[in-house]
Structure 1
């Protein structure tokens, strides 16, 4: 990755938010974030929509920890790394698998930025990423999304 080229590109294109791939965990992906000007936001593509299996939460959260060391978490968002299809007629995943990926993304976002329903009710603040563990998830991720975070405040 040529950091100088990335910095030049970021400076020439008047975009407030950049959508960057961040689903492989490579150093080049992190370098793209480091090269981003401080006044620009970034949306990190943390899930690969071409893979049917869900990404490991701890692995994605470790990547988010690394990104948060170089960019303020409040200037970030997350998304799939690309669309679910190259064309409407040829989706990479069926509708059910796409929905599971989006629910998974919602869970990851709640781990990153906290669960607003849980925070309002319990008066809690967002815990550091390292305090979350996939071992503490309820068996049904949909319950976590519908009902708020079942974990007590750390």
Structure 2
């Protein structure tokens, strides 16, 4: 692994949308402004965000996912053969329900040379001025989970009576999209993936399956999908993954430590680093990190992005040292546990809180790693 692909302090990628951007989206929805006018406002908001990320000293930047409504669905809608649909119910989080948007098939899945993520990346390179960019996209496993969710699966049955072809097309479309990003100069891609975070929660899963809790077959499928999408990529293209248990408006979807999926995920997914959620007791202990291969890196999400209360520096340092019993300190990093706005609603904290959290991450990293 290139030693410069992961730093000792990191971000997950999404940032709170500024009020100007939120209002602009409302104005587009009500017909007050056009999509072109929205883009101008997005451009300015991203410029300001990039400047702030550089100002506080981040080594790798993002566009905050400011052009997306969701961390995952907007990307799915960009593929050929996938459409935006609205279901009867949104995702159920602890005490909240999301909007009911989803993604379903309209035909075979294919790479789209006009995928919005390519324009997102091109604009960011224009203003990054040489600062490295990490492009976050949802994992292939997450797309499969969405396309077979509820009534969406009827369309999968229609277009893919042979599931093997379905899986192959997803991997192909992903790989071609990643290579298109590479051609634009991208050398750092992160696969965001909540599927594993669902599998760790026995109560959640037994409810989903009427009492069954044997997820090994599904784990193997998710592993295969994610690995097939990143096979035979250029050696200087760095791929990492972020795994959490849901992040919406400061709420969560599932609970449980990584132990039930650790051997499959941590031991066998062909990424360079794992961004993992460890911000509270729901995340379990560090023991599953024993499955991480010697050449791989772990980014510890010890600072919560779900509220504005600042963690005690000494507590974070102590937890990093606890994790180093399983992964050597030189292969550990620190980050928030997730993004600050996985959807455009954002978590319940202020922009000032957001930057204080990142300043804490940097300060702790400077103390621990120098």
Q: TM-score range by the shorter chain?
A: 0.5 to 0.7
- Cα 1:2–1:18 shift into 2, 3 Å: closer
1:16-31 equivalences under 5 Å are 16-24=272-280, 28-31=284-287
Distance in 2 (alpha carbons) for counterparts of 1:104 and 1:69? 23
Residue in 1 that maps onto 2:343: 87
5+ long unaligned stretches in structure 2: 1-256
Query: What's 2:364 paired with?
Result: 108
Displacement of 1:20: 0.8
Matched residue, 1:122:
none
Does the aligned pair in 1 maintain the 2:278–2:284 contact within 8 Å?
no
Structure with bigger gyration radius:
2
Q: Which residue of 1 aligns with 2:329?
A: 73
Judged with a 3 Å threshold, the aligned counterparts in structure 2 of structure 1 residues 107 and 66 are, in CA distance, closer, same or farther, namely same
Supply the distance in 1 between the matched residues of 2:258 and 2:353 (Cα, whole angstroms). 36
Mapped to 2, the partners of 1:97 and 1:50 lie a distance apart of 10
RMSD: 2.1
1:152 — aligned with what?
none
The residue that corresponds to 1:54 in the other structure is: 310
Residues of 1 paired with 2:342 and 2:300: CA distance?
Answer: 19
TM-score, length-scaled by structure 2 = 0.29
1:10 aligns with 2:266: yes
Tell me the TM-score normalized by structure 1.
Answer: 0.65
Specify the SS of the correspondent of 1:45. strand
The corresponding residue for 2:353 is 97
- Residues matched between the structures, number: 114
Structure 1: runs of 5+ lacking an equivalent: 115-154
Distance (whole Å) between structure 2 residues aligned to residue 25 and residue 56 of structure 1 = 16
- Contact 1:21–1:29 at 8 Å: present in 2 too? no
